Structure 1
Amino acid sequence: MDFQLSGEQQLLREALSGYLARRYTFDERREAVAGAGWRPEVWRALAGELGLFGAGLGEADGGFGGGAEEIAVIAEELGRALVLEPYTEAVVVAGALLRGLPQGASLLSAVLEGSALVVPALYEKAGRSDPARIGCMLRDGALTGDKALVVAAPLATHLIVSAREAGTGAAGDGRPALCLVRADAPGLTRRDYRLIDGRPAADVTFTGTTCERLDLGDEDALERIGAAIDAGIGAQCAEAVGVMATLLERTVAYAKQREQFGRPIGTFQALQHRMADMAVALERARSMATMATLALKADAAGGAVAAERSRQVSAAKAYVAEALKQVAEGAVQVHGGIGTTDEIDVSHYFKRAYVLQHQFGTAQYHLGRMAAHS
């Protein structure tokens, strides 16, 4: 099987990496973290100037005919540059939730243009890593309940919320549904905070909040949610590869120039072994991320069973999470105390690695999910 990028995919990578090299320096990122937690002008440029948001969507949905492979190319470059903007949440996951729905066509078009920012609100405190544990209730076109750790909620124009329809069974046992909510809707309150990597997030409470129930036809809401989250995990696995690759590059370069006892610390065998282990973990993670991408590609083409897609994506997530921990900790340990300071980028990559390990479910959760689908 040929794992090389096509000519178009290579051009996509070069265009994005070139733009980020010019417009997304470490100092500019630090300013954004200290401010709003993102750069709206970059978001608009990614959508308009580069046409990035349509690269991973089919033509029927207003995209350019791409899919999981193009998303992986984009996500890896965003990981290398440590981009704050919520591409995975607001484009990959939200796009998968809206794709193919008559109600979602105009909003999806606005997402691709960068004029709307739609984020998924699919997790709850009681459910922890499991999006199928839904306590939020939909009754007479209004939502009541809470959603936790909604990444980019303070930036959003709309939220896509999972809920259970009241009146179809015992409380909390109704049919799952997806609802579209304006971010400024009456009855919606947020508790805003920052993740440790500087990205804005919020816990959201709905108190009789008016919403629009998305018409999924005969499709089960949990199946659509599962497919969307799998797409997000695939993107984050690719992003993690970009994060780890940069951490390894920074660590090797530092080990070559930092001296102890009159010679570079990179000549010490113990540190050579540690960096070799980091390199092996990176290449294994790259292979697992590719496996997830291929599973998502096969699923989109109708050539895979959903359970098999989920099994492979969970396997990738579980391994990549452990590899992230190993590479990030190794990078900080080789750098020593300076690796924990805010002035150099290694500490920022370390923080992003920690968030990627836990978002969309922990490694432990995905090992159990993988076993359930085996």
Structure 2
Amino acid sequence: MDFDLNESQSLLQDSIRKTLTAKYGFENRKAYMASETGWSREMWAQYAELGLLGLPFAEEDGGFGGGPEETMLVAEQMGRHITLEPWFSTVVLGGGFLRHGADTALRQEMVEGVAAGETLLAFAQTERQSRYDLFDVQTTAKKDGAGWVITGRKGMVLHGDTADHFFVTARVSGASRDKGGIGVFVVPATADGVSVRGFRTVDGQRAAEVDFTGARATHVLGDAEGGLPLVDRVVDEAIAVLAAEAIGAMDVVHAMTLDYMKTRQQFGRAIGSFQALQHKAADMLVAIEQSRSMAYFATMAAQGSDAAERRRNMHAVKAQIGRSQRLVGQQSIQLHGGIAMTMEYAAGHYFKRLTVNEAMFGDTDHHLRALADAGGLVQAA
């Protein structure tokens, strides 16, 4: 199989790399984090100019018609610089709901604003009791005339404090852990009954707790009681993007660690000359290359039409890359020593992002157990 990039993909990769290298150094990132929004509006406008915000949308909807491979390239570069902007929440998660669940009118209404950097989206799904189960939903949706009214609380809504619209999972019928009776609703952040409390996550990004108290939804995506398959599909594609982002971050952490090992002196020589530490650096490299293969696999597998097979594939991706992220991050901290624990040095910040990435939509143990319950990656004949 040919994994070489075509000319347009190479140009896309180069343009992102040059932009982020020039304007997303470690000191720049700290300044963006300290800003009012917690990320850079200037960089967001640059992403729009580069076409990154409209990349995965169809041209007829106002996008640029990019595919999963192009999204993977963007994610990897974002991971290399552990960016703070709401690209993942708006373009990947919100964009996934628009592409797979919205009707033509809603896509045309929102995609143009997303592509221009004027509309920010967020996925409001996690609840206090739900942990990693996408179907554990207690937030309710009640029919009210021609529309729906949403009541409930969502936590860890990534970039929810700056979102213009929320894609909210809410239960129309059934018990809190039933897999049926769940719908996906669009609720404007400015709607009556919406209360948002933003906070900074451990890796420097922004998130929010969002209360919906009789908030009126403007749209329901597809079947109001059959929205879980849509959620599963969007999350599967998001896991593939997180895998690519992890590769970018791990590559930088590994290079940073090797540079430190070449310069840090102990017992009169560089610590990189000690064989035991060389073995640890080699283990990091092996883990990264295994994960790179899984990230490529995830990019292809996330587009599968068989929902059960796609879910098994994503369980495997999450289990493998999650394990690698943990190893690479922890070994980097150990090989750097005390300096890695300081806020002034980048290694600890990458470790935090890798830790958050591993936990998002289910950690390694969760997906390994789910994969085992599903019969493994390769099904018995």
Same fold (TM over 0.5): yes
Give the aligned partner of residue 352 of structure 1.
Answer: 353
Confirm whether residue 213 of structure 1 aligns to residue 216 of structure 2. no
The AA in structure 1 aligned to 2:237 is: A
CA distance in 2, matches of 1:67, 1:16: 16
User: Which residue of structure 2 lines up, in the alignment, with residue 149 of structure 1?
Assistant: 156
Q: Cα deviation per residue 1:207-228 (whole Å; 9 max; x = unaligned)?
A: 1111123241599311111111
User: Displacement of 1:163 after TM fit?
Assistant: 0.5
- Partners of 2:166 and 2:282 in 1: CA distance: 43
Cross-structure match for 1:334? 335
Corresponding residue SS for 1:284: helix
Check conservation: 1:103, 1:214, Cα contact below 8 A.
Answer: no
Q: Whole-Å Cα distance in 2 between the matches of residues 273 and 359 of structure 1?
A: 30
Deviation at 1:45, TM superposition (A): 1.2
Matched to 1:150, the amino acid is: V
Q: Which amino acid aligns with 1:115?
A: E
Structure 1, residues 218-257: CA drift from partner, whole Å, max 9, x if none? 9931111111111111111000000000000000011011
Corresponding residue of 2:247: 241
Q: Counterpart of 2:346 in structure 1: which amino acid?
A: D
Give the letter for the 2:68 counterpart: A
Work out whether residues 308 and 373 of structure 1, in 8 Å CA contact, stay in contact via their aligned partners in 2. Answer: no
CA distance in 1: counterparts of 2:221 and 2:211, whole angstroms? 23
Q: Is the 8 A contact 1:187 1:208 kept in 2?
A: yes
Task: Report the alpha carbon displacement of residue 288 of structure 1 after superposing the two structures with TM.
Answer: 0.8
The structure-2 alpha-carbon separation of the partners of 1:219 and 1:125, relative to structure 1 and needing over 3 Å to count, comes to closer
Would the aligned equivalents of 1:178 and 1:221 in 2 still touch at CA under 8 Å? yes
Normalising by structure 1, what TM-score? 0.93
Deviations 1:126-155 (A, max 9, x none): 111011111110112211111111010011
Is 1:251 equivalent to 2:252 in the alignment? no
Match of 1:110 in 2: 113
- 2:283 matches 1:283: no
- Which moves more between the two structures, 271-280 or 22-31? 22-31
Are 2:73 and 1:42 aligned?
no
**Inter-partner Cα distance in structure 1 for 2:225 and 2:212:** 25
**How far, CA to CA, are the matches of 1:171 and 1:29 in structure 2?**
40
Q: Report percent identity of matched pairs.
A: 39
> Contact 2:188–2:218 at 8 Å: present in 1 too?
no
**In the aligned structure 2, how far is the partner of 1:336 from the partner of 1:265?**
11
3-state secondary structure, aligned to 1:54: coil
Alpha-carbon distance change, 76 to 260 in structure 1, aligned in 2, over 3 angstroms: same
| 1:59 Cα deviation from its structure 2 partner | 2.9
Alpha-carbon distance in 2 for matches of 1:61, 1:222: 24
Tell whether the 8 Å contact from 1:103 to 1:215 is kept in structure 2 after alignment.
no
Q: Following TM superposition, by how much is the alpha carbon of 1:111 offset from its aligned partner in structure 2, in angstroms?
A: 1.1
Structure 2 counterpart of 1:29, which letter?
R
1:263 paired residue number: 269
Matching residue of 1:195: 201
CA distance in 1, matches of 2:133, 2:285: 32
Q: Which residue of 2 aligns with 1:125?
A: 128
Q: Does 1:159 align with 2:161?
A: no
Distance 2:45 2:335 in 1: 38
C-alpha separation in 1, matches of 2:62 and 2:318: 29
Distance 2:28 2:175 in 1: 52
Aligned to 2:302, what secondary structure does the other structure show? helix
Q: Deviations over 1:156-195 (max 9, x none)?
A: 1111101112xx5568867211111111222111232211
Shift of 1:371: 3.1
Q: Report how many aligned residue pairs link the two structures.
A: 366
2:232 alignment partner, one of 226, 231, 238? 226
Q: C-alpha separation between the residues in 2 aligned to 1:365 and 1:225?
A: 18
The aligned counterpart of 2:378 is none
Q: Say whether the 8 Å CA contact 2:258–2:272 is kept in structure 1.
A: yes
Q: Which moved more, 1:320-329 or 1:26-35?
A: 26-35
The corresponding residue for 1:101 is 103
Match of 1:41, SS state, is helix
> 1:294: which partner in 2?
300
Q: 1:161 to 1:103 in 2, by over 3 A?
A: farther
Q: Which residue of 2 aligns with 1:305?
A: 306
Q: Given that residues 189 and 205 in structure 1 are in contact (C-alpha distance below 8 angstroms), is that contact kept between their aligned partners in structure 2? A: yes
2:251–2:288 Cα contact (<8 Å) kept: yes
- Secondary structure of the structure 2 residue equivalent to 1:53: coil
**1:91-139 deviation line (CA, Å, top 9, x unaligned):** 0111111115234211122112110001111221211101111111011
* Structure 1 residue 60 displacement after superposition: 4.1
Look up the SS of the partner of 2:197 in the other structure: strand
Cα deviations across residues 44-97 of structure 1 (Å, max 9, x unaligned)? Answer: 2101x1011222233344322222111110000000011111212210111111
Q: Secondary structure of the equivalent of 2:136?
A: coil
CA distance in 2, matches of 1:373, 1:329: 30
Contact 1:89 1:232 in 2 (8 A): no
Aligned-residue offset at 1:260 = 0.8
Q: TM-score, normalised by structure 2?
A: 0.92
Change (3 A) 1:80 1:206: same
CA contact (8 A) 1:143 1:208 kept: yes
Change in Cα spacing, 1:95 to 1:372, as seen in structure 2 (3 Å) is: farther
